Amino acid sequence: MKKNPTPPIAPQRPKTLNIHGHERIDPFFWMNERDHPDVLAYLAAENAYYDQMTAHTKSLEQELYQEMRARIKEDDQSVPYFKNGYWYITRYQLGQQYPLYVRQKELGVSPEELLFDVNEMAQGHTYYQLGHFSVSPDNRYVVFSVDRVSRRQYTLQVKDLETGVVLDFEVANTPGNACWSQDSRYLFYAIKDPVSLRCTQVWRCDLFQAIARKQQGADPQEAHELVYEELDETFDVFVSKSRSGAFITIGTSSTLTSEYHWLSADQPLGAFTCFSARETGVEYDISHFKDHFYITTNKDDAENFKVMRTALSQTDSIYWESFIEHHPDRLIEDFTLFNSHHVLTYREGGLTQMRITSWLDESSYLLPFEGETYTASMGYHPEFDTQEIRYHFSSLTRPSTVYSFDLGDKTQKILKTQEVYGGFDPAHYASERVWATSADGTQVPISLVYRQQGAKPGPKPLLLYGYGAYGHTIEPYFSSVRLSLLDRGFVYAIAHVRGGEYLGRPWYESGKMECKQNTFTDFIHCAKHLIDTGRTEADKLCAYGGSAGGLLIGAVINQSPELFKAAVANVPFVDVVTTMLDDTIPLTTGEYDEWGNPNHADDYYRMLAYSPYDQVKTQAYPNLLVLTGYHDSQVQYWEPAKWVAKLRVHNSHERLVLFQTNMQAGHSGASGRFEALKEIAQEYAFMIDLCGNNDL
């Protein structure tokens, strides 16, 4: 890769940071000042340098983008679902970036009613995201949310579906959802703290009074009433409606603890009642069915969770009775209730299983899934009264398929399979699961996919992806976009490192807090295993991670830079200690139980030992592409900006360090399905250019 231009060198303005008797010098702390002219100038210089250094790959980016887009069925639609008298459909039209949402009284017969044309709504906006929407019980109104900045601060609005008019009603700074009372008059919604963006309050609004007051020139806020406020800064609050529609629930949770409050949806002016008071370390989730609440919880040391139930009149945990016992090898992930059956979704040995049980005779059976690495999940079921359940299945080689399963005769049929244009043949690809041995002897699974038809022998260029935080499992799902790598000879691998829940809740617990180093060590040994077994070599190996996965990449290239030719870090969380010491930054206080609280000395030194920004040292780093969004509310832009500036000072090898800031986007990147492809194309072009193009 040609390297003529001089990279930007950010000025060092050392700031001394002191805590626990320890002194840190941060030469680039000045970048934390959003909108400062010096900061904007530096980001602009980095973007210009990125453009110069990747000018020779622009044609490859365009080629990748065009082939990715060409595989997509642009005029597509979802499988319709039925709710409260209507069938709902999401549809994309040829050439359009955003979806249309429609509904019908009688599927395929009644005229369609347009709820939203997001393409029309997004006109004139560089970023536009339609969040959640919820139709009122009387089917006349729909409350919806919009983010026009990409900072996940949604504004609520209401549309009259009879007239098509958006009402004169707005609530700003919400997480994006709201719930209706049964009389379709009152809305319940959460509000975010404007600085920390932590959801702290739940409000009740008399919609029509608010509109009337505004029309009369009076204060519409008088129609809004605060019904709950969370004072513990480590907790976030949210509001939802039970699937039965009978209850409004306020949930509040930290990483380790949860609590619910509930109210009958047909008594919207009543007071919320605590379901069961929070107990530190006890998580629970509730669902309502007929005369019981069902509780999925880790209470009483049920590490992989169990299901309990209780009568509607006795919700405190002292009354809960066992319904599905805890199993040490099965992580319960979902519990779905129907009139005739219930479905338990759990993960065992890394693989998802779904067990269907009859209420009538308690007979049960598993849905048949095949393969050693796949993804399966329950579909959306707003109605209890059905003999047909839906589930989704895909694998690294099989496109996503929606199945319908008949609970009566136990037969299934395919409702929809993702269409992949361009001559895709699943027989040309192979997937498998292999196991690497980590430093402490732990076996770490790796899911792999590659093209087998026409494959050349010998080590291949390989992209190793990892995340490893929050108990989030990276599923081995199908991606038509990924074919652009596989068809160029790349192997794609997912390292299911500790910190996720791929092998159950203990897998998560052994990759967080004082065990966080296991996440990085696992990834390093996955890379070594792939090299040692001849699947790739260090000169062809790329690492990729985003957000908390960017922390993973930052730590790994500090600790074992020699293993990788290139790395991509997307919106990376890399300035761990400084960020977690600032409780005004979004997501900080709520994550003390994930990373630790550096206000405590033990946590501080442990986090400092792996913090990618703090541990940058003079050594030869892999080629690096770092991407961020200026409006990112999850990981502030200055974390990757400071990291890149420090890497430029300490990188002892003339390898690339490229940094691009999308000035119109946030944590999730560009809005619009085609714009998102352009971002993937630039990442792929970077890796292909550096690690070779093994065309098949």
- pLDDT reading at 360 higher than 90: yes
What percent of the chain shows pLDDT beyond 90? 87
Q: Which of 26, 147, 200 is nearest to 638 (CA)?
A: 26
For the CA atoms of 154, 160, 161, 166, the dihedral, rounded to the nearest 10 degrees, stands at: -50
pLDDT category at 108 given cuts 50, 70, 90 is confident
| Tens-digit pLDDT profile for residues 575-612 | 999 999 998 877 788 889 999 999 999 999 999 999 99
* 499 and 577 together in one domain: yes
| Tens-digit pLDDT profile for residues 615-629 | 999 999 999 999 999
* 416 and 451 together in one domain: no
Give 379's contacts (C-beta < 8 A, 6+ positions apart): 79, 81, 389, 390, 391, 392, 402
Asked if 689 is an active-site residue, the reply is no
* 415 and 437 together in one domain: no
- Give the pLDDT of residue 669: 66
- Give the pLDDT of residue 653: 84
Residue after which a domain boundary falls, among 397, 420, 443: 420
pLDDT category at 457 given cuts 50, 70, 90 is confident
Give 390's contacts (C-beta < 8 A, 6+ positions apart): 79, 378, 379, 380, 381, 402, 403, 404, 405, 415
Asked if 632 is an active-site residue, the reply is yes
Note whether residue 393 is domain-resident. Answer: yes
- Give the pLDDT of residue 1: 45
Average pLDDT score over residue span 89-103: 94
Note whether residue 75 is domain-resident. Answer: no
- pLDDT reading at 149 higher than 90: no
- pLDDT reading at 464 higher than 90: yes
pLDDT category at 454 given cuts 50, 70, 90 is confident
Query: Who wins on pLDDT, 694 or 56?
Result: 56
| Tens-digit pLDDT profile for residues 23-74 | 999 999 999 999 999 999 999 999 999 999 999 999 999 999 999 999 999 9
Euclidean distance between CA atoms 561 and 671, whole angstroms: 33
Beta carbons of 493 and 446 less than 8 angstroms apart: yes
| Tens-digit pLDDT profile for residues 197-242 | 889 999 999 999 999 998 998 988 999 999 999 999 889 999 999 9
- pLDDT reading at 370 higher than 90: no
pLDDT category at 255 given cuts 50, 70, 90 is confident
- pLDDT reading at 196 higher than 90: no
* 529 and 647 together in one domain: yes
* 496 and 600 together in one domain: yes
**Other CB atoms closer than 10 Å to residue 517's CB: what's the count?**
16
Note whether residue 544 is domain-resident. Answer: yes
pLDDT category at 195 given cuts 50, 70, 90 is confident
Euclidean distance between CA atoms 96 and 128, whole angstroms: 14
Q: Which CATH number fits the domain that encloses residue 57?
A: 3.40.50.1820
Q: Name the least confident of 9-13, 94-98, 262-266, 506-510.
A: 94-98
* 595 and 652 together in one domain: yes
Average pLDDT score over residue span 469-482: 96
Distance, first Cα to last Cα, the chain = 23
- Give the pLDDT of residue 654: 84
Number of residues assigned to the chain: 696
- Give the pLDDT of residue 170: 94
- pLDDT reading at 281 higher than 60: yes
What percent of the chain shows pLDDT beyond 70? 98
For helices 673-691 and 58-70, the axis angle rounded to 10 degrees is: 130
- Give the pLDDT of residue 448: 97
Note whether residue 367 is domain-resident. Answer: yes
Euclidean distance between CA atoms 312 and 316, whole angstroms: 10
Number of alpha helices (DSSP H) and beta strands (DSSP E) in the chain: 13, 38
Euclidean distance between CA atoms 80 and 557, whole angstroms: 46
- pLDDT reading at 455 higher than 90: no
Written as one letter, the residue type at 286 is: I
Euclidean distance between CA atoms 528 and 202, whole angstroms: 49
Domain range for residue 408? 332-420
| Tens-digit pLDDT profile for residues 380-406 | 999 999 999 999 999 999 999 999 999
Q: In the chain, how many domains are there?
A: 2
* 342 and 467 together in one domain: no
Note whether residue 201 is domain-resident. Answer: no
* 442 and 585 together in one domain: yes
Query: Who wins on pLDDT, 1 or 412?
Result: 412
Euclidean distance between CA atoms 647 and 649, whole angstroms: 5
Active-site residue, from 522, 603, 614, 632: 632
Active-site residue, from 547, 560, 668, 671: 547
- Give the pLDDT of residue 694: 57
Active-site residue, from 261, 667, 668, 671: 667
* 368 and 464 together in one domain: no
* 539 and 415 together in one domain: no
Note whether residue 307 is domain-resident. Answer: no
Average pLDDT score over residue span 67-92: 95
Euclidean distance between CA atoms 202 and 179, whole angstroms: 11
* 397 and 436 together in one domain: no
Residue after which a domain boundary falls, among 361, 391, 420: 420
Asked if 547 is an active-site residue, the reply is yes
Note whether residue 193 is domain-resident. Answer: no
The pTM of the full predicted model, rounded to 2 decimals, is 0.93
Average pLDDT score over residue span 350-364: 96
Note whether residue 349 is domain-resident. Answer: yes
* 533 and 672 together in one domain: yes
Give Cα 9 distance to the centre of its chain: 34
- pLDDT reading at 171 higher than 80: yes
| Tens-digit pLDDT profile for residues 660-671 | 999 887 666 666
Residue after which a domain boundary falls, among 420, 448, 467: 420
